[in-house]
Amino acid sequence: MTLANQLTLARLVAIVPLMIALYVPFPGNRIVALLLYVAAILTDYFDGIAARRSNKVTGFGKLMDSIADKALIVSVFFALVDLGLMASWMAAIMVIREFAVTGMRMVALEGGEVIAANRWGKAKMNAQSLAVFVLLLGYTGLWMPGFLVEVGWWLMVVAVILTLISGWSYLKDTPRILSIQSRRDQRL
């Protein structure tokens, strides 16, 4: 197993202790949750670097990286909603977009086309990651918690807007992708 795939799996595994740190009160649990989140986000950055540098970009890595990203962000969204740090409508919009785009990518893949992340998708992910970081930092209570939660909420609004834009940037190609899939099905 490549280093990149190990980092991807570490991100997936990190979700469990992250959720425990958010929900089980122990001394410093909120700080531990923040640190686990930062570590998980860093694995997303470093797994791509490791895969490209070693020239070992694998099908497993491409699939699991996407799954790990979505599992991490959706889990944290649910926790933030439950903790009162994020509005449920925000989480719903972002989770629905993830399912819609992932579904479209799967259909495209069946038709032999790979849909890579575009600049809007990357901007969306960066905005979501920053908003979650700021909200969790505010949740720790270490420094200006009320202010950080307010800033985090507005950053999440930006993330929702970028989510809608990026979702549209992918989904506008749906008719073309369905056409490719239909032609493929007819050949079979």
pLDDT of residue 14: 96
- Answer yes or no: is pLDDT of 92 > 90: yes
User: In whole angstroms, what is the distance from residue 42 CA to residue 117 CA?
Assistant: 18
Does 1.20.120 match the CATH number of domain 3-186?
yes
Q: Mean pLDDT in the chain?
A: 89
pLDDT of residue 110: 76
pLDDT of residue 149: 94
Q: By the 8 A CB rule, do 135 and 148 touch?
A: yes
Q: What are the φ and ψ backbone dihedral angles of 87, each rounded to 5 degrees?
A: -75, 140
pLDDT of residue 183: 67
pLDDT of residue 185: 66
| pLDDT average, residue stretch 62-91 | 92
